[in-house]
Amino acid sequence: MSSEVSRRQAQERIAALRQAWQAERREHIRRAEEAGTEVRELLDVAIDEARPAAGDRTWLWLVSREGVLARDTVRLRSGDPVRLVTGNEVTPAVVARWGRHRLGVVIEGGASGALWSGGFRVVRDFPTTTFDRGDRAMRLLAEAEEASDLGRLRAVAYGGSAPTTAEPMATPVLFDTALNGPQQEAVHFAMSTTPVALVFGPPGTGKTRTLVEIVRQHRRAGRRVLVSAASNAAVDNLAERLIAHGVDVTRIGHPARVLASVEAHSLDAKLDDHPSMQLAKRWFRDALAANAKLNKRIARGKIPYAERRMARAEVHQLFRDSRRHQKGLAEGLLERSQVVCATLAAADGKLLWGPQGKFDVVVVDEASQAVDPLLWCALQRAPRVVLGGDPQQLPPTVFDHGAARAGLARSLFETLENAYGEAGRRLLTIQHRMHRDLMAYVSKELYGGRLQAHPAVADHRVADLEGVETDPGRSTPLVFVDSAGKGWAEVTGDGERDVSRCNPELAARTAAEVRRVISRGVPPGDIAVISPYDGQVRALIGELGALRDDGLEIGTVDGFQGREKEVVVVDLVRSNDDGQIGFLSDVRRMNVALTRARRLLIVVGDSATLSGHDLYAGFIGAAEELGGYVSAWSDDAEPLNA
């Protein structure tokens, strides 16, 4: 392919993605506006307390001037964007956490005089920042010079220029000597391939563990590393593992979204421990005291306008000096940090707009779930990239159907894997989670039969757990409970939205299967119940909600990605005369559902509806071959020893 064709191909792909990103923004706005009609505002709110926060931010505690600020008046959770509205002035903020009758929020910069006067509203907002950062990243990508680091990455990503081995295939001395052969090979590959190396990690194969070793190897080589992922949970998971191995990380991100276990390594915590931070805090306290004194004088009406204006300017200057000093400390800390952990969106935050934002390597976990515009927020930070993911599991979440068709739902990981295959990635093939019978079908159908069960897990069963009885009626690791012919038909909440689908009678049968497992002696904390549909999850909570206090987890398939339990019970919901299975036809969702269990997987569904799809027909056949097929007509899933 000529360089001109390569450039044109890359620019066309970027242009299509930018348009799709705009369509996705519009759909998010539409949904936010629709949801907003159901949410009450918080009215007549005032600032109760303030303190400086990292990244030129201010933490505000808000109280009601008329009574108790109860959280049930508005459905706001940590991390939700809001607006503080007073008159014609609007201040964007993010919910930090609820306190006792007050709400903590964080704003960019400092609070205006109007906010300090009180009497403002708190209104749910649409999170535009994420889309703005994706826009900026794609614009910079389109404008990058061909010979620049970003230009070379663009050529590999969209222009057909294959990754190359830029260094000798060295064999590094491993920190983690327990890595298996495929994991070691992936480490060697990532250390010697540029500018992009893929680590393809099917379920249970230790992808994140392999990425942690890669980060440690790059640090040994003297390289500065940005560690990233789409979600805060995935970033914190990586950070926790690195910290456990003694790696000094700096976790940047909104204080409302950082896991408590890594909080001590957050930028905010490191700033609090910095000796020079006391000066910024003193200026901030002085500003608060001066502001309170000024407001009292204003309330008594004993201060001329000119004097009031001058006093307000002095207060604001103290606030600005405090934030400016803190900003300088934060940038210095980041520039000295050799491993920085941040979400993809946070990787384009103002904290990294400078020398502190230049890295040698970017390592991204769960890259196959990231939309390209957000992925490039991180990839623009370094000339070398390592992406970990699995395109056979859940894809990026895209709400606008047109944007999905235009390619926004196809991750860069999938694009590269399809383009370069083995030349651009290494496949991890030894899984450490599932019994061999739980692994066999998905290995054959989705991974070319290449997965192997590690000997430590290949034959483990739920009956091997202490205090757990054998169940003669559910004796295999894989069980399919068939509801065909029972007449348990699915229903919908509004007739349009897939997420509202539920099947109350199937949910009751699923709940019975869960109780039967518990009757064997399996602790509820070792069990997860998952379903593809939110409506069915609500029905399952109605059936089993009391057991959640004992540790039983109930949630969606999508929400359980990356998780595992000893026992997983899957409710497939769909049962209709037309054989319609909706988004269950996306085999990646089924892959996630079938690969969460370690020792026992029970799938409850209607074979008459499901068997029209090859994957489900094959799965039901595999369960029969293993002796794990159970008709719902044969028993009512009574508890053992009942």
The confidence score (pLDDT) of residue 32 equals 76
pLDDT exceeds cutoff 80 at 265: yes
Q: 516 CB contacts (<8 Å, ≥6 apart)? A: 471, 474, 637, 638, 639, 640
For residues 464-473, average pLDDT = 95
| Choice among 43-57, 89-103, 261-275 with the minimum mean pLDDT | 43-57
Residue 617: the pLDDT is: 95
pLDDT tens across 568-585, in order? 999 999 999 999 998 899
Condensed to tens digits (0 to 9), the pLDDT of residues 194-216 reads: 999 999 999 999 999 999 999 99
Q: Is the pLDDT of residue 327 over 90?
A: no
Predicted pLDDT of residue 40: 63
Looking at residue 495, its pLDDT comes to 43
Please state, in angstroms and rounded to a whole number, the distance separating the CA atoms of residues 152 and 189: 19
Predicted confidence (pLDDT) per residue in 491-541, tens digit: 986 444 445 689 999 999 999 999 999 999 999 999 999 999 999 999 999
The answer to whether residue 113 scores a pLDDT higher than 90 is: no
The more confident residue out of 65 and 609 is: 609
Whole-number pLDDT of residue 159 = 86
Over residues 544-557, mean pLDDT: 94
Rounded to 5°, angle at Cα 257 from 366 and 89: 125
The whole-angstrom separation of Cα 331 and Cα 226 is 15
CA distance 319 to 312: 11
Give me 532's structure tokens.
Answer: 């593809």
At 71 the pLDDT is 67
DSSP string, 277-298: HHHHHHHHHHHHHHHHHHHHHH
Mean of all residue pLDDT scores within the chain: 89
CA gap 361, 195 in Å, rounded: 9
Share of residues in the chain with pLDDT > 70 (%): 94
**pLDDT, tens only, 162-186:** 888 765 545 679 999 999 999 999 9
Residue 43: per-residue pLDDT: 83
Tell me which of 247 and 642 has the higher pLDDT.
247
Quick check: 223 pLDDT over 90?
yes
The string of pLDDT tens digits covering residues 382-427 is: 999 999 999 999 999 999 999 999 999 999 999 999 999 888 899 9
Does the structure show a pLDDT above 70 at 41? Answer: yes
Whether the pLDDT of residue 371 is over 90: the answer is yes
CA dihedral sign of residues 458, 463, 467, 468: positive
Mean of the pLDDT values across residues 474-498? Answer: 83
pLDDT at 128: 83
Confidence of residue 18 (pLDDT cuts 50, 70, 90): very high
Better-scored residue on pLDDT, 498 or 487? 487
pTM for the complete prediction? 0.87
Q: How, if at all, do strands 629-631 and 478-482 pair?
A: parallel
Calculate mean pLDDT across residues 13-18: 96
Q: Is the pLDDT of residue 471 over 60?
A: yes
